Amino acid sequence: MKKVLLTGISGYIGLHCAAELLQQGYAVKGSVRSLSKAEKLTDTITKFVDPKGKLEFCELDLLKDDAWDEAVSDCDFVMHVASPFFSKIPKDENELIKPAVEGTQRALKAAHKAGIKRVVLTSSMVAMLGDVKGDENIDQNSWTEVNAKNATAYLKSKTLAEKSAWEFVKEKDMELVTIHPGPVYGPSLSDDLSGESMTLFKRIMTGELKQMIHASINMSDVRDVAKIHVLALENEQATGQRLIVATERAHSYQEITELLKTKGYEKVSTKVAPNFMVKFLANFNSEMKGMMPYVGKKYEGSVMASKNIFNWEPIPFDKMVLDTAKSVENVLNSEC
């Protein structure tokens, strides 16, 4: 039985990766910042798949060397999902960049030392946005220019972390595959709505969010993202690939609200904020400032490589949106 070190198992994507790995017969060692989370995470995962004794946990910190070598010592693969993310602009961009880059390096160094052949790394489409001016057709060869005017700390963190990974494996006997989702939605495996994806849908569905930004990009279903992470572990064609895992075309945030409105979510607002207003508010609001790489812009990524390598079809946009809404609705109803 092959074992995978899965970093960031407690996150939105991490939980789905854990469930998918277990369903496909892998043993999972999930990293957490505190082992106090282990029991709750086991209970959450067990609701969707029986671990059958193949789930364990270890304690790792992206900013500390402690325990990384021990964590990978009995594993066959590393799936490095853990990376900090929040939409607000931090006062110090290194709050995002440092753990992203250093965590990636720690995962790769430990894997190499343990003789692990392949690492699958969660990157993002935000590492592929060119000069961050929009109307960009992006593919496996696209990179975000980190010195671009609108390159935020998050864009820099994902781009620099991925670049450091490719640089690391260049002269090593190691294989790297990077997975690039767009904004990730889809049902949550937990009842935690505090993450960026679930929070957005909660705010839309409760009517708290009165206007959406005008922006379009390929969006990703978390179930697809987890599936491709797992398939990439042993698919030879995936070796050395940067794989976009998302819808086949770009979608706007207004499409989300309009779909929800037509399906009976009455509190949803379908209004779109004028670009000039968002840009003005960005001068005073760190969350608005974090949206500036996308406001008034369209980024369209090609998923052909992923489709061909894995004989995969993305989950339809409508299903992704409605399944996300249902997941959020279930949690909100249980809190009543």
Asked whether residue 334 is assigned to any structural domain, the reply reads no
Asked whether residue 335 is assigned to any structural domain, the reply reads no
**Mean model confidence pLDDT for the chain:** 94
Per-residue model confidence (pLDDT) at position 106: 98
Per-residue model confidence (pLDDT) at position 64: 96
pLDDT at 88 exceeding the cut of 70: no
The 10 Å Cβ neighbour count of residue 278 is 23
CATH code of residue 273: 3.40.50.720
Strands of the sheet containing 175-181, edge to edge, are 55-59, 27-32, 3-7, 77-80, 118-122, 175-181, 242-245
Asked whether residue 35 is assigned to any structural domain, the reply reads yes
113 pLDDT tier (thresholds 50, 70, 90): very high
Please write the tens of the pLDDT for every residue from 176-221: 999 999 999 999 999 999 889 999 999 999 999 999 999 999 999 9
pLDDT at 86 exceeding the cut of 80: no
Burial string for 166-184 (b: 16+ CB within 10 Å, else e) reads eebbeeeebbbbbbbbbbb
Asked whether residue 336 is assigned to any structural domain, the reply reads no
* 52 carries an active-site annotation: no
281 pLDDT tier (thresholds 50, 70, 90): confident
Percent of the chain with pLDDT over 70: 98
Q: How many domains does the chain have?
A: 1
Give the domain range for residue 57. Answer: 3-325
Q: How many CA atoms lie within 13 A of 199 on its CB side?
A: 5
Chain Cα centroid distance, residue 96: 15
C-alpha–C-alpha distance, residues 225 and 230, integer Å: 9
Q: Which of 29, 37, 149, 158 is catalytic?
A: 158
Please write the tens of the pLDDT for every residue from 130-175: 999 988 899 999 999 999 988 999 999 999 999 999 999 998 999 9
Asked whether residue 145 is assigned to any structural domain, the reply reads yes
Asked whether residue 43 is assigned to any structural domain, the reply reads yes
Per-residue model confidence (pLDDT) at position 6: 98
Q: What's the mean pLDDT in 247-251?
A: 97
C-alpha–C-alpha distance, residues 149 and 153, integer Å: 12
Give whole-number Cα distances, 71 to 82, 105, 119, 143, in Å: 15, 15, 14, 31
Please write the tens of the pLDDT for every residue from 38-73: 999 999 999 999 999 999 999 999 999 999 999 999
pLDDT at 87 exceeding the cut of 90: no
Asked whether residue 331 is assigned to any structural domain, the reply reads no
Asked whether residue 333 is assigned to any structural domain, the reply reads no
295 pLDDT tier (thresholds 50, 70, 90): confident
